[in-house]
Amino acid sequence: MASGVEVHVGGSTPLRGAEVTVCVRPTCRSARFPPGDLAARTVHVAQPAIDSTRPVRLRITGRTADGHSLGGSTEVTVTPVRDAPNGPTCGPVGYFAHVTVEG
């Protein structure tokens, strides 16, 4: 189970093939919206630097498929939640945050 951030991009900008990058100093990871999905507004970005429920500062940037900025850079502090799908004493365990940014 890969810890990470669910990034929801608001607004009406088409996101097909857009890339979102989430940085937790100094680690940055990216994910792309599916190129064939016109309705997708949320993407999961795996982020191994999120490894507990302690608050963490994120920097989120995005680019459309043709390279235009999705609203610049957003910085936010989040408190991840622990997810243990097989029970509290069984692995794997992941830590997740949910963020909404305007696109």
Residue-wise pLDDT for 58-101, tens only, equals: 999 999 999 999 888 999 999 999 999 999 888 899 999 999 99
The domain in which residue 33 lies consists of 4-102
Residue 53 C-alpha from the chain's centroid: 16
CATH number, domain containing residue 29:
2.60.40
The dihedrals phi and psi of 34, each to the nearest 5 degrees, come to -60, 130
Q: Fill in the DSSP letter of residue 70.
A: E
Q: Which two tokens stand for residue 100?
A: 């909404």
Closest CA to 3 of 42, 52, 41: 52
Total count of domains within the chain: 1
Q: pLDDT tens for residues 8-20? A: 999 888 899 999 9
Of residues 100, 97, 30, the one with CA closest to residue 62: 30
In this model, does residue 52 exceed pLDDT 90? yes
Q: What is the pTM of this model?
A: 0.88
